[in-house]
Amino acid sequence: MIGCLIIHGYTGGPHEVEPLAAYLREHTNWEVEVPTLPGHGKNLELDHVTHTAWLDAAENELEHMKAKTDKLYLIGFSMGGMIAAYLASKHDIEKLVLLAPARKYLSFLKMVKEVKGVLMDVFKGKIGENRFLKHYKNKWRDVPFKANLEFLKLVNFTRRHLAKVQVPVLIAQGLQDMMVPYKTVHRLDREIMSDQKEVVLFDRSKHLLCLGDDKDTLNAMVYQFLTEEDSN
């Protein structure tokens, strides 16, 4: 049996990657799992959660899946990408997919552009239609400062393991990403020592790659990357 573990991002949940998970379930007979990291999901409860709790939860799920599968793929989005890379450096997996991995976080130029868009919608009386504000307003309110520090600890810890990743890797990033600067993927390309690496940039996509305008292309690309060896 083939397993595929997908890890969501910081302050997010399985919904961030659900279109990709659904696509893989529809087109394969794999066991596809998308666990919810501690403190995450629809109702954020991040006050007393540490970065080690996120790492341990993901690793426990990986161990559980390894025990019942013959082959395991790892996919990580944003912070989940850094967790997935860390797990790939420690465990015997087949392939790794990193979606907007949070090697470096927050593109200030993109953020300024988004804030300008919010202000323009306020001026036009269309603030209720602004997708950026809808997605992030609750997160800004519900995320304690300590949780942000734990996120930074996780990034600093996991990036030290990037050089140990040896499996084939697909890295995807949106050029319109306001959270993770798209140039981050070029740094990752240098830091990850795998002999098989592919970097793909999407012109129309922002940070939420699996929910963006390029999601159909992304789904097919990830599927092809994960299955190409089997088809050969």
Residue 107's pLDDT is 42
207 among known catalytic residues:
yes
What is residue 181's predicted lDDT score, i.e. its pLDDT? Answer: 80
pLDDT value at residue 196: 95
Is 27 catalytic? The answer is no
pLDDT of res. 185: 83
- The alpha carbons of the chain give a radius of gyration, in whole angstroms, of 17
User: 205 an active-site residue?
Assistant: no
Considering the entire predicted model, what is its pTM?
Answer: 0.85
Question: Which pLDDT score is estimated for 41?
Answer: 93
Residue 145: the pLDDT is: 85
Among residues 78, 89, 107, 205, the one annotated as catalytic is 78
Per-residue pLDDT, 103:
85
Cβ density class 53-91: b for 16+ within 10 Å, e for less: ebbebbeebbeebbeebebbbbbbbbbbbbbbbbbbbee
Q: Give residue 179's pLDDT.
A: 81
Mean pLDDT per 10-residue section of the chain, whose length is 232 residues? 97 96 98 98 93 98 96 97 98 97 63 50 54 52 83 94 96 89 83 94 93 96 89 40
Find the Cα–Cα–Cα–Cα dihedral 103, 165, 85, 225, rounded to 10°. Answer: 100
CATH homologous superfamily of 2-231 equals Alpha/Beta hydrolase fold, catalytic domain (3.40.50.1820)
Structure confidence at residue 169 (pLDDT): 97
Q: Which of 40, 89, 107, 177 is catalytic?
A: 177
Going across the sheet that includes 95-99, the strands are 31-33, 2-7, 71-77, 95-99, 169-174, 197-202
Torsion of CA 145, 151, 154, 156, to 10 degrees: -80
